[in-house]
Copies of this chain bind each other. A is one copy, B any other.
Amino acid sequence: MYTDGLSMDTKSKKILTAFKKQGARVETKARVKLKEKKDFSLWYTPGVAVASRYLAEHPEEARKLSVKKNSVAVVSDGSAVLGLGNIGPYGALPVMEGKALIFKEKAGVDAWPIVLSTQEPEEIVQVVKAIAPAFGGINLEDIAAPKCFDIEERLIEALDIPVMHDDQHGTAIVVLAGLTNAAKVVKKTLKELKIVISGAGAAGTGTAKLLIAAGVRDIVMLDRTGTLYAGRENLNENKAELAKLTNPRKVKGGLDEAMVGADVFIGLSGKGLLSAGHVRSMAPRAIVFAMANPEPEIFPDVAKKAGAVVVATGRSDFPNQINNSLVFPGVFRGALDRGVRQITEAAKLRAARALAALVARPAADKIIPDMLDPRVVKAVAGAIR
């Protein structure tokens, strides 16, 4: 399954060995020296009392003279990790630590992984509120739908620092950026696209809402039961809302029915879900974003052979990596730099546009800037204001 031809087992063993050998992938670093007595007198006792007294009286200044200036908590309860599902805090930890690593390397943001031993929404809200004072932003991550919506909403309301559930909004921004360029490649407009979104969880929901805000009119969403449509039974609050916002043609059934004639497939669901037959049933010049991680809904070679013109995944080892890593470092860089308290819909649209615009000449294998492109963070950060 992997591009270098190694079997999953051999590859996995090599990776695990690397992680074991490495230990931690992020650490802390002193930004002042502690070499002489006077360094301790200034930065610890008695000097630190001056800063403490000052911040006790001017808490809003914490953003200027403490770690709060540049820090983000990457918070997960491990209830919906990558494509792996509910694997708990320890399962989530490597991902959160990886994000902290990317935050630093890409955007100079001091992010620290926080994984929670609770999965109760009420408690998650309470814990994040409790630890918020030392952080300049909260990146919620891999928290299952539908609880993630309420958790994010309540934290945005309660806190005076930016809170973003990256699965929803990071995904939405990068998908919209990729889709903007993919549409150019196949010479279709966003407004005329018939889009199927497989997965009505956090990522699917965030993506559908942002695409609609960008002008998309025809989205059919699917959960495990089938398409979402107004009046379907057993819809939770979030899906009932999505059912109203999407599916204007009232498509019923499963993926087989939804894919017929579709211009775009956006997979935010699970591995191997999409078959070559599904792709063959799509409209001409089809676009396939198979973003399940770590294993996509369909592998690029299969999708292309079945007729898809533009194919993207979430992975670094294929072309067109539609990955949140293109977004979250810049979003928080911009928010921290400008003291932005809320990541608005308008800012997300601007960020997607800025990201898309970095690809001067979109092509089938180049719809999104590369993760290594040094312009990415600046472009996204510039949109957050």
Contact = CB atoms under 8 A, between A and B. Distances in A.
Q: Which label, helix, strand, loop or mixed, suits the secondary structure of the A interface?
A: helix
Contact of A126 (B55, B82, B126): B126
The 7 A-B residue pairs with the shortest CB-CB distance in the complex, in nearest-first order? A56-B91, A46-B294, A56-B87, A51-B94, A59-B90, A49-B294, A29-B29
Contact of A41 (B26, B44, B317): B317
Given A47-B15, A82-B45, A24 B293 contact: no
A100 B131 CA distance: 16
Interface stretch (A30-38, A193-201, A210-218, A220-228): A30-38
A371 B40 contact: yes
Given A28-B110, A293-B45, A293-B49, A116 B131 contact: yes
A279 B206 CA distance: 69
A20 to B, nearest CB: 5
A328 to B, nearest CB: 12
Interface of A: 12, 15-16, 18-20, 22-38, 40-56, 59, 62, 64-71, 78, 81-84, 87-106, 110-118, 123, 126-127, 129-134, 293-295, 314-317, 323, 325, 371-372
Copies of this chain, count = 2
Contacts of A371: 37, 40
B42 A31 contact: no
Nearest to A127: B130
Contacts of A49: 82-84, 293-294
B323 A45 contact: yes
Contact of A84 (B52, B68, B71, B98): B52
22 contacts: A15-B51, A18-B47, A19-B65, A23-B70, A24-B70, A25-B66, A26-B28, A26-B30, A34-B101, A40-B316, A40-B325, A44-B102, A45-B315, A45-B316, A46-B317, A52-B94, A52-B95, A53-B84, A56-B91, A59-B91, A93-B134, A116-B130
Given A15-B42, A45-B294, A65-B94, 15 more contacts: A12-B50, A15-B47, A15-B51, A20-B65, A25-B43, A26-B28, A27-B28, A30-B101, A33-B105, A37-B371, A43-B98, A51-B94, A66-B94, A114-B131, A127-B130
A42 B168 CA distance: 24
A117 B91 contact: no
A91 B64 CA distance: 13
A60 to B, nearest CB: 9
Q: Which of A28, A37, A105 has the most CB of B within 10 A?
A: A28
Contacts of A62: 90, 93
Contacts of A103: 28
Given A12-B50, A49-B82, A126-B126, A27 B24 contact: no
A126 to B, nearest CB: 7
B130 A123 contact: yes
B67 A26 contact: yes
A104 B40 contact: no
